[in-house]
Structure 1
Amino acid sequence: MPGEVDTEDYADVWVFIEQHDGEAAKVSWELLAKGRELADEKGERLVALVMGDSVTHLAEEAIERGADEVLVAEDPIFEPYLPGPYGEQFRYLVEERHPDVVLIGGSHTGRDFAGRVAVPTYAGLTADCTELDIEPDTGLLLAKRPTFGGDAMATIKCVEHRPQMATVRPGVFDAAQPDPDREGTITEVEVVVDESHQRSRMIERVVGDITDITDANVVVAGGYGTEGDFGPVEDLAAALGGEVAATREAVEEGWIEAARQVGQTGKTVKPDLYIACGISGAIQHLEGMNDSKTIVAINDDPNAPIFDDADYGIVGDLFEICPALTELIEQKRGETA
């Protein structure tokens, strides 16, 4: 059967360094940090892969952030991103070099081309992972992800096929910090793609105006208790210079865009301050924000589970408390201006 392999021929942990216009996506550095842990536990090397045009500076940064070797595929064909060239080049390198574990950010880009690598190589691919571990006895990758609409967590492992691939949700790991004294190897690899692999072409690239909430230092989130009125939440977030987020229920009701959903089936955030307004505290939501440094809960139900995870709790009507907090913050800022 195709895909049956001698697993002993596969080694090393690979991390794909996603970049756009020469700037690395934050999830790439998050995966390097986790990849470093996994590689050390397996006693193998951490290898980063960079594709693009004029991206040597990212290879150098990947070394500083933990990679032992960086494979660089540098050619104008990789700019802007298109799934055909990226997928074909990545597939070639996987088949040539036999990595054991491959980690790709669960971004629009990563999810777009990961399957183009996994399917032709008969790899095992787990999507949208929130936890990664190594099984002690076997050295297999344990990829954990939400399932059944976020009501349960599944642990998936690939026993027979290689590489073991995973796309990982942005924000679930802390980013690797650079160490200018680290040394590693930068290897320029053969570019095996050409225009024949470009079955689509980029007509126009439009970047939305929604800030990535995973980068926010302050997040103010609204839940079902807002009853669809996010005005007080938005005003408080604006006063604090933060971003607005929401629960799955609020998104499913159509009250706010899906890009702002926090939870097992949404995004994972780790801000300095997280204010939960009208959020009961279901476990699915808590999984996406419980690593926040300070959590403030506002809810009119004193028995709401959210208070068990909050550092500070305010029992009351969010439509009264949020405007009062907004006014107080704006007043204090006016006094110090």
Structure 2
Amino acid sequence: MLSVLVPGGTGQLGSALSALASSEVRVVAPSSAELDVTSAGSVIAAVNALAAEAAEAGRSPLVINAAAYTAVDAAETDESRAFRINADGARVLAAACSSRRVPLIHVSTDYVFPGDSSRPYEPEDPLGPRSAYGRTKAAGEDAVLGSGARAWVVRTAWVYGAGGANFVETMRRLEGERDTVSVVDDQRGSPTWSADLAAGLLDLGRAVVSGRAPQRRVLHCTNAGETTWYGFARAVFEELGADPERVKPCTTAEFPRPAPRPPYSVLSNEAWQQAGLTPLRPWREALHDYLAGK
């Protein structure tokens, strides 16, 4: 049985983790306003409370860090704030977990890679973030892995789900507002439903507390398969019963953004499976269930 603390608990991933609470898994998921990961005092108090409650209830404590500054474009002009949350916050949380010997799962991103690969990225591949957001998340990984905590970094990508703005909801809205929508067709990745990701993280958490912890401390977890944003958008339209031909392809150059995006950020899930963890299903199946409200 688990007692899980989820900083950043009201975002897409935090909400999905809360939805998995059961008699076997107790989830405490404070919002970023309720638990500021950059405040050492608040974090220490929260981790101490988790450890005490778990000991009293005969449960294993676990922290899953879903707190993050994820405004990719805004981070280009606000990197210091992104660094405080994504790097300093991760360091504070890892130090508290190390002190109380509470295992930590820290969620990271495909944006730590440069995006110039021609095959799915493995966990041990060299990093090379091209954006401020990616740099701050890479620094957070370093902070966690160097903290001395029993910690695992799990990189994911293209996350969507209830509880926040995301690509799927944007396409749903635009389908009702516009005759056609132009979407970039030269960036590839793996769309990942937050509900499936949350189940995968709990799978890892159970392995950690039951003595089956993976030896590799960095893993990748996404829904299976890959597509472009254009292909993703067409799939959303199809699931909504709309004509996918209304989605038109364009290039990244035709749709400039403040932060550079990795052209290719598919993550290999091979290490996840080698660790005995359940692989996530194909991304298209997950999208169907999400839009069907399952």
Query: Which category describes the TM-score, using the shorter chain as reference length?
Result: 0.3 to 0.5
**Higher share of residues assigned strand:** 1
- Structure with the bigger RCO (C-alpha within 8 Å, sep 6+) is 2
Rg comparison, structure with higher value:
1
**Higher share of residues assigned helix:** 2
